[in-house]
Structure 1
Amino acid sequence: MISGKRVREILKTGFRTPDTGHLTSNDEVTKGEMMRILIRGQQFISVMIAMASMLCLWPLSAWSAPLSLEEIANRLQKTYETTSSFSADFSQTTTLDFNQRQRQAHGVVVIEKGGRMRWDYQSPDKQVLVCDGRLFSMYVAKDQQMIVSDAKNYLESDITYAFLSGTGNIERDFAMEKHEGEEDTGSAHHLRLTPRKAHPQVNYLDIWVNADTFLIERLKIVDHFGSMTDLAFTSMRVNVTHPADYFAYTPPPGTEVVRP
């Protein structure tokens, strides 16, 4: 095995012996070992260069400090204030506290500023909830009934509309805290929001905010009895314009229309 001293001598002289300046036959083994050392060194340098390149390309967010609660709230607020419409596919799970029975539903939602929204429940039962800013209508196919009421009362009580349309103010309307739980997956910001002013239908909300887009990808509403409505959004789209008649619904013939 070549000694450390010999390595240093060879490095200084460029593979020349100190006395003659040329490699001798006695140095052939030494030369082979030295070549292996250099090859390993080159391999090590190549690996280090590759690692350095990867670090330079690593997303800046991976190195940035975690966002504060206020920063998350501000970005969330700004996202919805600057969004004219929000649409998504949704999955809804409703859990009743007294028997823990769950009901699943799926559909499509569209929400626009100006009090316009439409929830199309496609399974397990067809339901349509529409609001044009003036009237709110709820059609339930299995009951062959549509209830029509003034939109103002509905919009004022519907906390999801305030959230997803940007008409509310998260810091003004809610006490906030970062929350972590077994349900957390991925990099979404999980916040727990408690209404500052008592709400007849809401005890608190849990929201999961996408770390890149700052859109709400999940919203769980818990009432004063412990019952929960859990909404998960996928295929989210923003600023897509819909015609005015999209926010109106004409029920099938024979439907009973109720106006409280």
Structure 2
Amino acid sequence: MKRVLLAGALLFAGAAAHADAIDTLKAFVSDVKTGRASFTQVVTSPDGAKKKSSNGSFEFARPNRFRFAYAKPYEQLIVGDGQKIWLHDPDLNQVTVRPMGEALGSTPAALLAGSNLDKDFTLKALPDEGGLQWVLATPRQKDSGFQSVKVAFRAKQLAAVEIVDSFGQRSRLDFTQVEANASLPADRFRFTPPPGADVLSQ
């Protein structure tokens, strides 16, 4: 009898933890209007043989404004201003710009900085791993370019995002120095191409 009660208690606890993970993600989207953090990104090839690391900073302001600034090993800046997404490669002195509606959709940036969570993603709680609560977010749009996005929280604070693209390549971003509802100036999410840069519209 005690074993049955224990098993039932463990199952209930697991279900509650999973529900909490989805609730945590929804609360993050609902309550955290701005934020910033440092990140380390590791990209792994589909066969797991090759890995590339980079780091930088991430900022966002809902709805649909964000800034990824990669610092090492190569500088690169991605800015979403609510209307367009700008990608600046300083080494090439090249800027790529595309309409946000076409480029954002069910992407990780939409998950972190957007506001239409249930509209854009199907959510499923995953077992806790590495001391983190994980939620699987599957894009509803078939042509999103991503198979899935996993989001992790530690004590209700954003901790990591793991992305699997349509080719099976895996990217994991681990966040540190996370500051929720940070005071961010509006110009952090504006971008003006540098003088002489080649600007490519898509």
TM-score range, shorter chain: 0.7 to 0.9
Give 1:217 deviation, angstroms.
Answer: 0.5
Kept after mapping to 1: 8 A contact 2:45/2:170: yes
Consecutive unaligned residues of structure 2, counting only runs of 5 or more, are 1-12
Tell me the TM-score normalised to structure 2 length. Answer: 0.81
Structure 1 segments, 4+ long, off by >6 Å, are: none
Give 1:249 deviation, angstroms.
Answer: 2.7
The number of residues matched between the two structures is 189
Pairing 1:5-154 to 2, within 5 Å after superposition: 65=13, 67-97=16-46, 100-154=49-103
Tell me the TM-score normalised to structure 1 length. Answer: 0.65
- Structure richer in helix, relative to its length: 1
Give 1:99 deviation, angstroms.
Answer: 7.2
Change (3 A) 1:135 1:69: same
SS in 2 for 1:156: coil
Consecutive unaligned residues of structure 1, counting only runs of 5 or more, are 1-64
Residues 39-68 of structure 1, C-alpha deviations (whole Å, 9 max, x = no match):
xxxxxxxxxxxxxxxxxxxxxxxxxx5533
The residue number in structure 2 matching 1:165 is 113
Percent identity between matched residues is 23
Give 1:228 deviation, angstroms.
Answer: 0.6
Change (3 A) 1:196 1:154: closer
Change (3 A) 1:69 1:139: same
Higher radius of gyration, 1 or 2? 1
Provide the C-alpha distance between the structure 1 equivalents of 2:119 and 2:22, rounded to a whole number of angstroms. Answer: 7
Provide the C-alpha distance between the structure 2 equivalents of 1:172 and 1:143, rounded to a whole number of angstroms. Answer: 34
Change (3 A) 1:91 1:100: same
Change (3 A) 1:148 1:101: same
Give the superposed CA RMSD. 2.4
- Structure richer in strand, relative to its length: 2
Q: Which residue among 151, 162, 166 is the counterpart of 1:220?
A: 162
The residue number in structure 1 matching 2:126 is 178
Provide the C-alpha distance between the structure 2 equivalents of 1:169 and 1:226, rounded to a whole number of angstroms. Answer: 23
SS in 1 for 2:91: helix
Provide the C-alpha distance between the structure 1 equivalents of 2:91 and 2:159, rounded to a whole number of angstroms. Answer: 30
